[in-house]
Chain A
Amino acid sequence: MTRGRIVLGGAGIALILFGAFRLLTEIAVPALEGLAIWLVVAVALHDGVLSPVVALAGRVLHRVLPPRLGRYVSGALVVGVGVSVITVPLVWRQGTQPAAKALLQQRYAVHLGWLWAAIGLGAALLYAGHVVRDARRRP
């Protein structure tokens, strides 16, 4: 192990211990219990629900779609899911704040629909370009 890695790892452990020390000494026990539950549930939801669903969706796409089309559908899904993940809480919280705050006043679900349409259109154009290129290459 090189000296650089030891310094890096040591700094990492020191920061973890510093953060943990501040948490344990400055945050009340019931709040810490809540935090511990959230940390465990976050990993459980990600590893136990979200990831298997995504892996399953990937397998289904791979089986159902021909590779050339699947390429653009998968790409569009990566873009669209990334955008959707941050939009879900926006939609959920929409309209909960006084108008003067100018907070959460947009029609986020409608905007997400526009963005999915734009992503779909972009993917369709790229796919069409690919089809045309392949057709030209064919003798």
Chain B
Amino acid sequence: MPAPRLQLPADPPRGWPRFDERLRTIAVTARLGRVLGIAIGVCFVTGLLSHYQYQPWSWLPEPAHPAWGYRFTQGVHVTTGIASIPLLLVKLWSVYPRLFAWPPARSLVHAVERLSVGLLVAVALIELTTGFLNVLAWYPWPWPFVAVHRFLAYVLVGSVLLHVAVKLPVIRSALARPVGADEPVAGGLSRRGLLTATGAGVALVVTTTVGQSVGRLEPLALLAPRRRDQAPQRVPVNKTAAQARVTRAGADWSLMVDGPRPFVLPLAELEAQAGAEARLPIACVEGWSVDAHWRGMRLLDVVHRAGGTADSTVYLRSLQPHGAYAHSIISGPQLSGALLATHLNGERIDLDHGYPVRLIAPDRAGVLNTKWLARVEIR
């Protein structure tokens, strides 16, 4: 049965927008789309890895090696997300005249296909914008960020796959075709010049922001939301003690350890036994990360003393009265590598970093390294 045809006038109405399309060829669009598609794919996979940090399956605990694993994947997630913003804008610019294609739809199937492109554009704009604003701790919308960011990511990647499937023959032929000679077209810019300028813009955005994840590039991080050189003990803070409503613990503070053989670890004893050292990054879901020197007591020693083993599941509870990260769960390889840190970069740990003691473990998302510890429960 032939697809139903839509009956529309052969010519567009008077005043219908027309564009100079010499610069916006499919060869240009396909090349922009290829890079953007790869960036969105990388962003999606690294985002799923980050989600797994927060909700791992009990039979598959997070690895502890490499210690910089989460630092790398989340740095890549945020950097590719930021880089995708200018890339998406140029890609959309290159196909803008198609919005005014005449007739708007040749058939019902074509109309559905165009609506799916509308969905792709809307979700891409919202996913990238809100992801970036989340890094800036800015939530001017009425929905819970984390869940919606994740569910929209499925819709976004699904829309990209559908778009690629529909356009595959066009994409193939466009990529096989040269971009065009280096002759200037609209505005004097050549097609090759447009791609070069877009690449330069993306490179500049990456260079000026990635320093929040890659320490050596920090001097270039002119647009990075976070900079460790402005932070206490050269490590940024995700939530301050004041924001968490935690006041400085007094000398009478003790760590409660609950397990088969429960005990109380007074502050003086904890500090006296803080002999284990480790160089571990702290890596935030918002993309920034810093390598730091930590000193403290091995969590596993505490677990053993309370009658637990390396196979135990350990709950850590904070002095923080409320909030999703007032407690965390650690098990498996991360438990074996974890410290109850009392010192950071050679100094007694700052209140904003979790005084009197905090958790730090390898390859673990920043907020899961619970600060201002009050209680350790072995199960």
Contacts and interface: CB of A to CB of B under 8 A. Distances in A.
B125 A43 contact: yes
A86 interface: yes
A30 B151 CA distance: 17
B192 to A, nearest CB: 11
Contacts of A89: 132-133, 136, 138
B125 A12 contact: no
A20 B162 CA distance: 15
A108 B223 contact: yes
B166 to A, nearest CB: 7
A128 to B, nearest CB: 16
B94 to A, nearest CB: 11
A27 B188 contact: no
Interface string A69-100: 11111111011111101110110010011111
A66 interface: yes
Contact of A98 (B159, B228, B240): B240
B201 A82 contact: yes
B99 A47 contact: yes
Contacts of A49: none
B331 interface: no
A51 B93 contact: yes
A90 B215 CA distance: 20
Interface in A28-69: 30-32, 34-35, 38-40, 42-43, 46-47, 50-51, 54-55, 58-59, 61-62, 65-69
B196 to A, nearest CB: 7
B165 A15 contact: no
A22 interface: yes
Contacts of A104: 136-137, 225
B114 to A, nearest CB: 12
Given A90-B225, A99-B230, A82 B89 contact: yes
A22 B162 contact: no
Nearest to A34: B142
B85 interface: yes
A105 B227 contact: yes
Contact of A55 (B19, B161, B204): B19
Given A47-B99, A85-B86, A39 B196 contact: no
Contacts of B193: 71, 74-75
A96 B225 CA distance: 12
B90 A78 contact: yes
B148 A35 contact: yes
Given A9-B162, A82-B198, A102-B227, A27 B147 contact: yes
B208 interface: yes
B57 interface: no
Interface in A79-138: 79-83, 85-87, 89-90, 93, 96-106, 108, 111-112, 114-115, 119
Interface string B108-144: 0000000000110111011001001100111001111
B194 interface: yes
A86 B222 contact: no
Contacts of A31: 142-144, 148
B158 A13 contact: yes
B154 A15 contact: yes
A101 B121 contact: no
A58 to B, nearest CB: 5
A105 B92 CA distance: 32
B286 to A, nearest CB: 8
The 4 closest A-B pairs by CB, nearest first: A70-B188, A15-B158, A19-B154, A82-B86
Given A15-B155, A22-B150, A101-B231, 16 more contacts: A12-B158, A15-B157, A19-B153, A62-B187, A74-B187, A75-B189, A79-B201, A80-B201, A81-B86, A89-B136, A93-B136, A97-B137, A100-B350, A101-B236, A102-B226, A111-B222
7 contacts: A16-B159, A19-B152, A26-B147, A47-B99, A72-B188, A85-B89, A89-B133
Interface of A: 2, 4-6, 8-9, 11-20, 22-23, 26-27, 30-32, 34-35, 38-40, 42-43, 46-47, 50-51, 54-55, 58-59, 61-62, 65-76, 78-83, 85-87, 89-90, 93, 96-106, 108, 111-112, 114-115, 119
